[in-house]
Chains A and B, each alone.
Chain A
Amino acid sequence: MMQVDVTVLLASWLIAATLQMSTPLILAALGGMFSERSGVVNIGLEGMMLIGAFSAVAATYFTGNPWMGVLASVAAGGLLALAHGIICVKFKGNHIVSGTGVILFAAGFTTLMLEVVWGRKGYSEQVTRLPDISFDTGNQFLNAAFGQHSPITYIAFIMVIISWYVLYRTPFGLRVRAAGEDPSTLDASGASVEWTRTIAVVISGMLAGLGGAYLSIGFGSAFGKGMTNGRGFIALAALIFGNWTPLGVLLAGLFFGFLNGLQFAIQLVPGLEWLQNFTNFVQMVPYLLVIVALAGIRKSVPPKGIAIPYVKEEKVRCPTIE
């Protein structure tokens, strides 16, 4: 009897953990979607999350208001992404090299700033968390699963809807997709490929930064060096597995978040102890699935113009006039 209770309780926890662990993944992957749909590869999501996580704590520390932290994380992520965008779009740099630079810069910069701001290494001081949105559903199971979540979790789900609308129902979204699929057509229509791509990359950094803020002040309450722990790469995996669409990103993010919770759950549910040795295997599943997806078992279609810098055609004089 007691065992059933524990299993049920853990099931409700697993739902909550899925939402918690998928929030940063969904946000960062949505960001990656904007960038990549516009034709700019963004492997720097990890770095943008990290700098977002740091900025959120730093701004909260100085203002005492965690919402200022959220704003700061979005701004910092956007700013770092702007640098990536300028390198990739304006200077036609290699997207992968620039993205790697973003990751390394964020890791070094946050470590340095930890020492500048708090005079310590590795871990910031504790700050006020973003207050959870909690409500009473009148049912203990539902309360444990849905009753208490960070506002950023709600924002993540709202962002999925907004992203879908922006991408498929607005002129800007059309331009983003055109910039990624067929930039010369977009250029011919009179819109600027460079601006479209730059704006899309900045949006990606803002979303990734928000995902980082969730880790540091939405779920936790402090910044730790390297606290994103590869989530930017899992977000990339979610983006690819989700086939560069908002709905796909949402489902892939939830699924990877679920796996994250599952690896703990299988250690705790009575009767599943024999699965303990497979927790590392569960951790590996997201990456495995991406390889499977990329290997073509499932059709995975990246934007056509991705990673190709767009160079405007040279103006040529029309020979017939001469």
Chain B
Amino acid sequence: MSASNKTLAIVVIVVIAIAGIGGIVILGGGNPFLPPENPYDVAIVFATGGLGDKSFNDGAYAGAEQAKEDYGITFTYVEPTATTEYEGFHRAYAAHAEYRDPYKMIIGIGFDQAEAIQTVAAEYPEQPFAIVDMYIDPTDYPNVTSILFDEQEGSAIVGAIAGLMTKTGKVGFVGGMDIDLINKFAAGYVWGANYSYYDANEANIAFDVQYVGSWVDTAAGQSLADAMYTAGTDIIFAAAGRSGLGVFDSAKNKNGTEGFDNPLWVIGVDSPQMYLGTDDPNNPAPPTVCLTSMLKKVDVAVYRTIVDAWSGTHVPGIKTFNLANGGLGYEINEDLLVLPQDVVNFANQLRLDIVAGNVIVPSQKYWT
């Protein structure tokens, strides 16, 4: 190849390249050297339990799906497998290196993302963040919204149901870990159980509050529930992530066996779990061992946060969800189990009283 041919080849290549790039720009493809537009409005960093926990992460996912359905708000997500990964994912979303524009909101699901979000929120003060289940001081981190629940209120309602349904006069609570968040559930539950039990029997209820020490160990949860049922508890409120699912196995195995004459009940948490208490949860049919579930409507909270961020009406700070604004509730599924009418009435009355502020539910362990 002669020298002039070489030069010609280079010129042709350069011309083709320039024409190609120019064509993309003119035809509306945007500048090819810039990253593409961000196809997502919202980014979600799930808790380490991952999707499929049938409670927390799934609830957040459902809320985001709902927002997508109602308003076409798009979202992307990651499922970290270890708490150490949170910070990297938040930073990656906040830096939005592969997209031109930032996310309108980055949501961290779960209290243990607090440190990661604080670190990254300080680095990217323009980027709005939200964290579910954790209080982050808005004066220090004005771009972080804390989504909080008054779990004790919902727990008090299911506790009241337990207090009226117990035959042994002893109710139990299985928590994931001995932390303030879980103790909010425990406090409301024990308070509510005693509230209704005292109302009916003029005596204080007996209770056991225990912790599995893990969120994923179903076998340990089952073993602990076995022990509590053995010790005379007949209703257990399970707030222990996947470990709590072991409580369902325990109730099903022990129900009706020797030494466990009373019907044994479980109370589900976060999402409707009554179907999990049936013999075949894929085709739920009565009977179920699950009395009711305390509904922590993470879907409602995430939905509202996403919609607010998308529509521009988002106000940073603290968003509290409680019985009054529909962020909490309890499950009624009459296809599977019909509670006695007086129990339902009592629960509804207690709900009204709490909403009206007539009674105050303690938010931390008040016993020793």
Chain A residues with a Cβ under 8 A of chain B = 6, 9-10, 12-14, 16-17, 20-21, 24, 107, 111, 114, 120-123, 125-126, 140, 143-144, 147-148, 215, 219-222, 224-227, 229, 260-261, 263-265, 267-268, 279-280, 283
Contacts and interface: CB of A to CB of B under 8 A. Distances in A.
Contacts of B282: 125-126
B218 A21 contact: no
Contact of A16 (B81, B224, B226): B226
Contacts of A21: 219-220, 223
A222 B227 contact: no
18 contacts: A9-B231, A111-B50, A120-B52, A121-B52, A122-B54, A122-B57, A123-B242, A125-B282, A126-B282, A140-B258, A144-B258, A219-B222, A220-B218, A227-B216, A227-B218, A267-B208, A268-B231, A280-B213
Given A122-B51, A126-B281, A264 B227 contact: yes
A227 B217 contact: yes
Contacts of B51: 120-122
Contacts of A279: 211, 213
A133 to B, nearest CB: 14
A225 B220 contact: no
A221 to B, nearest CB: 6
A107 B216 CA distance: 13
Interface string B219-236: 110111011101110000
Contacts of A14: 227
B53 interface: yes
A16 B282 CA distance: 30
Contacts of A140: 258-259
A229 B214 contact: yes
A144 B214 contact: no
A120 B54 CA distance: 10
Interface string B225-262: 01110111000000000100110010000000111000
B80 interface: no
The 6 closest A-B pairs by CB, nearest first: A122-B52, A121-B52, A121-B51, A229-B217, A13-B230, A120-B52
Contacts of A283: 213
A268 B54 contact: no
A13 B218 contact: no
A221 B232 contact: no
A148 B255 CA distance: 13
